[in-house]
Amino acid sequence: MAAGLFTGEAARAAEAASGSVLNPFLALRAGARQALRARLSELLKTGSPDEGRAEPCLQPASDCTLHLPAHIGDYTDFYVGIYHATNVGKQFRPDNPLLPNYKHVPIGYHGRASSIRPSGVPVRPPRGQTKPSDASEPGFGPSQRLDYELELGVWIGPGNELGAPIDIGKASEHVGGFCLLNDWSARDIQAWEYQPLGPFLSKNLPVPSRPAGIPQAAGLM
């Protein structure tokens, strides 16, 4: 900001993004966010007329510490498509992998936002109940089937007032950014606990996320 590289809507968005978290930036309307992204692209372009003023503002990635970019109040975890839903269903219901409601409504659940972490945070396998198919009773202990999936995260920007739906035609205006996410799951715990209300402890371990620009982190199933 001090270098005077931004004006108008881009300057307003840069000011909103200058704090310790990006929530004020994500809350802006699409026009201001897009103006800042366009201006940053101009500044970082080889041969930019403002290259000399912009270069002192840059920092080597190796000298930076990755933080969560925003306070995450909530997130919803979705299947990315019918093939994903079918493949996951095969793990738990080989004879009936794709439930009929999938073709009519988006299938998702609310995850535990406090479990989202930036890359580099150690992941500790959760402890919980598991019940192998050949066991008569469940047992308790650390997960033996911990895995992760590389997924797409979508940051929701301005959002809506409680009870006021967002028109589908305006949905894209509320997308504040994208990122990559490693979604960790304890599959043996999940297989026992997911019916009838879905995953609980199997999805609540700390989740390291991998950045893909700004902002980064959050998740889709």
Helices (H), the chain: 8-16, 23-26, 30-44, 51-54, 82-92, 187-193
State both tokens at 174: 């509320």
Q: Which of 71, 84, 104, 110 is catalytic?
A: 84
Q: What local confidence, expressed as pLDDT, does residue 206 receive?
A: 59
- pLDDT tens, position by position, 9-58: 999 999 999 999 999 999 999 999 999 999 999 999 999 999 999 999 89
Residues 6+ positions from 56 with CB-CB distance below 8 Å: 3
What the chain holds in terms of domains, given with CATH numbers, is 8-63 (no CATH), 76-209 (3.90.850.10)
Ranked by mean pLDDT, the top range of 82-86, 179-183, 193-197 is 82-86
Q: How far is residue 203's CA from residue 189's CA, in Å, rounded to a whole number?
A: 9
Query: How high is the mean pLDDT of the chain?
Result: 85
Active site residue 71: no
- pLDDT tens, position by position, 74-103: 888 888 889 988 988 898 889 999 989 999
Crossing angle of helices 8-16 and 30-44, in 10° steps, is 100
Helices (H), 45-193: 51-54, 82-92, 187-193
State both tokens at 89: 């269903």
Residues 6+ positions from 154 with CB-CB distance below 8 Å: 175, 177, 178, 218, 220
